[in-house]
Amino acid sequence: MVLGIEESSHMEIREENEGWTTVISPISGWFNFSLKELWRYRDLIALFVRRDFVAVYKQTILGPLWFLIQPLFSTIVFTVIFGRIANIPTDGIPPMLFYMAGIVSWNYFSSCLTTTSNTFIANANIFGKVYFPRLAVPISVVIVNLMTFAIQFLLFLGFLFYFYWRGVPVNLSGWILLTPLLLGQMGILGLGVGILVSSLTTKYRDLTFVVGFGTQLWMYATPIVYPMSQIPERWQWLYALNPMASLIETFRYAFLGSGSVNLAHLAVSAGMTIFILCAGIVLFSRIEKTFMDTV
């Protein structure tokens, strides 16, 4: 009689299970990335975006003005040191515009990289308590940094129109229309490198110290304080292996008419970006299964 009751109760539970809309099961396979699942958690991503954007400068005196102060002061320092003292040419473009174009676009990429590189360690408490797609956190970081870029980009446009009003020849090109694609690739590249580093830092904490100065070294290997025209032609193929080099050069050419656009370099950059993103997602998916044991 008791066995009959137990069997009937199990059958009821089984029937109820068939009506479940969400089933959480162990992650298997190497490439576990579901756009459909991320879209289902879009409200959570929006909450992360709001949290990060508001919390960063919530208790500061100047607040969102820091978004403008950082690129402005960096541009002034670069103009004095590299433009006035080192006399590095800027291809006939006013140094303020030349450096600001590079700094604003580089800031977006570097912010995506450095912030997402700490995903597992910074969010270990949340990850250990509730389930949601872990990629929602780094994706929200990319969106927040895109909002920051939009504010700094307005500052750049303000200086651009000021110099144009003063009669400085600024040659806008049709590549401006591809600006969203350039920004998208910068964000994807920062996301890919960031989640790669984040996955490795769960086991090798030394990488947290490498990210800072590694990003600075990468910046000086990118034509931000100097134009690509200063690189000897026989070495420019090597610069094509830096996916950010052609993106910065194209961005600057689009708005200032400085430099050139090399379609072969852009193709290499896009290929490397896709490869890095796929490698990052694969490693991120593998690490998220066991990272709580090592963090």
pLDDT for 181-225, tens place per residue? 999 999 999 999 999 988 888 777 777 788 888 998 999 989 999
Question: How far from chain centre, in Å, is Cα 130?
Answer: 25
Report percent pLDDT > 70 for the chain. 83
Residue corresponding to tokens 């570097």: 110
282 occurs within a structural domain: yes
Does residue 15 lie within any of the structural domains?
no
C-alpha triplet 75, 150, 99: angle, nearest 5° = 20
pLDDT (tens digit, 9 = 90+) per residue, 8-27? Answer: 444 444 444 556 666 666 55
Q: How far apart are CA 107 and CA 145, in angstroms?
A: 9
4 falls within a domain: no
- Per-residue pLDDT at 242: 92
pLDDT band at 228 (very low <50, low <70, confident <90, very high): confident
In a domain, 2, yes or no: no
Residue 86 belongs to some domain of the structure: yes
| Entry pTM | 0.84
Give the pLDDT score at 2: 40
Q: What is the mean pLDDT of residues 68-92?
A: 89
Task: Check pLDDT > 70 for residue 167.
Answer: yes
pLDDT at residue 290, as a whole number: 66
pLDDT above 70 (res 74):
yes
pLDDT at site 3: 42
Q: What is the CA radius of gyration of the chain?
A: 24
What would the mean pLDDT of 112-137 be, rounded to a whole number? 82
CA dist., res. 142 & res. 110, Å (int): 11
Q: How confident is the model at residue 282 (pLDDT cuts 50, 70, 90)?
A: confident
Quote the pLDDT of residue 213.
85
User: How many other C-beta atoms can be found within 10 angstroms of the C-beta atom of residue 204?
Assistant: 12
The total number of structural domains in the chain stands at 1
pLDDT at 233: 81
Which range of residues forms the domain containing residue 54? Answer: 30-293
